Structure 1
Amino acid sequence: MKNYFRNWNFMRLLRLAMGILIIIQGFMDNQWMFVALGGLFSLMPLLNIGYCGTSSCSTSFPKSNKKTDEITYEEVR
């Protein structure tokens, strides 16, 4: 369990707290759609799946130290 919480950052904790607050507010107002949405928003940080803009949609760049030669262009008439 100690290893599970090792990779948690501030934004992940904030998303979990907001999801729990949405669930509580949904129960207090008897709005079951908010309870369902709060459950969805709470599961996302727990399962470490994210929205676009987080690590799930990022692209990786190749790590190479190759230098490209300077390209010369020739005018065609």
Structure 2
Amino acid sequence: MKRILFSQWHLMRYFRLALALFLFFQAYETKQWFFIVFGIFFLFQAIFNMGCGPNGCQVNYKNQKDEQ
């Protein structure tokens, strides 16, 4: 767990963290508390390094020709 939290920080993780903090701030300033849900989502992605990888969010489909 410690390795996940403190290693492999890159630009996208910093961006997600900054976006989460910005959404928390906006929720507090505007009193529109649904922004917190989105902030928690991006904070979770930043902390645990989850989300789409470098290949994007594509699904690998297998067709019948590949199986033969």
TM range (shorter): 0.5 to 0.7
TM-score (norm: length of structure 2): 0.64
Contact 1:19 1:39 in 2 (8 A): yes
Partner of 1:37 in structure 2? 38
Supply the RMSD in Å over aligned alpha carbons: 2.8
TM-score (norm: length of structure 1): 0.58
Q: Which of these two proteins has the greater Rg computed from alpha carbons?
A: 1
Point out where structure 1 has 5 or more consecutive residues left out of the alignment: 60-77
Sequence identity (%): 25
Aligned length: 59
The list of structure 1 runs, each at least 4 consecutive aligned residues, that deviate by more than 4 angstroms after superposition, is 52-59
Contact 2:24 2:35 in 1 (8 A): yes
> 1:25-72: per-residue Cα shift (whole Å, max 9, x none)?
11111111111111111111101111466677687xxxxxxxxxxxxx
Contact 2:5 2:48 in 1 (8 A): no
Greater helix proportion: 2
The residue type paired with residue 40 of structure 1 is: F
RCO higher in structure (CA 8 A, sep ≥6):
2
